[in-house]
Amino acid sequence: MRRELDDIKATTRKMAVVLAGNAERFSRIESRLDSIDNKLETLNAVKQALESFTSEIIASRNDRLLFNRTFDDQRETLLDHELRLTRLERRGRSS
């Protein structure tokens, strides 16, 4: 009976050591997961900033394209007016 009790104590001690080792491992794993979570939050903030910046760049490009189209349209109108004025001036001189 005494021997069985000693075996139970020894087994209990071994289990306590194993459990204590696992608790340390779980603690390290939890610490690593917290670190990864913090890194993910930082990456998410960077991603949001880049998305905002990218949308501003796209909007700026679209505005520039619209301006260029408008400018080109106005240039064509201006050239038409210049051509008509030149024709009118020539007619006025020849009369």
pTM: 0.50
Q: Which residue has the tokens 């998410």?
A: 44
Which two three-digit tokens encode residue 63? 């505005």
User: pLDDT for 39-94, tens place per residue?
Assistant: 999 999 999 999 999 999 999 999 999 888 888 888 888 989 999 999 988 888 87
**Identity of the amino acid at 60:** S
Indicate the DSSP class of residue 89.
H
Give the number of residues written for the chain.
95
Buried residues in 49-66 as b, exposed as e (16+ CB within 10 A): eeeeeeeeeeeeeeeeee
